[in-house]
Amino acid sequence: MNKVADTVATLKGIPTKEDLKMQLEQNVLVVDFTKLNGDKRIMTCTLREDIKPSATKTDTMSQKKVREISDAVVSVWDVNAKGWRSFRYDRINAVDHVETYNQEWYNK
């Protein structure tokens, strides 16, 4: 456990990186973050198995080992854009849980 990272997460009011990944695997979250160019972005995303697409050889981002290459970056499935997106953990401003899921988000 990294005490500095845990303290920063507490001060920002966001989950630790480990907690965030666990929450993404179990929920759909709204993540508010600042892009590297300074633009603010709000993304509805998840890592839930019943929502994100299955891993394929042709879509490398669907493969967990590829998504976890960089420790600073969190790769997620954007349920609205229906694509893999990523953001830097240290650029997160806020994290909220989605209470009501859209049927169209689920794998068919």
pLDDT by residue (tens digit) across 67-100?
566 678 899 999 999 999 999 999 999 999 999 9
pLDDT by residue (tens digit) across 7-21?
878 888 999 999 999
How far apart CA 38 and CA 46 sit, in angstroms, is 23
Task: Answer for the pair 29, 23: CB distance below 8 angstroms, yes or no.
Answer: yes
| pTM reported for the whole predicted model | 0.83
Report helix, strand or coil for 11.
helix
Residue 55: C-alpha distances to residues 30, 61, 64, 66, 90 (Å): 23, 8, 8, 11, 27
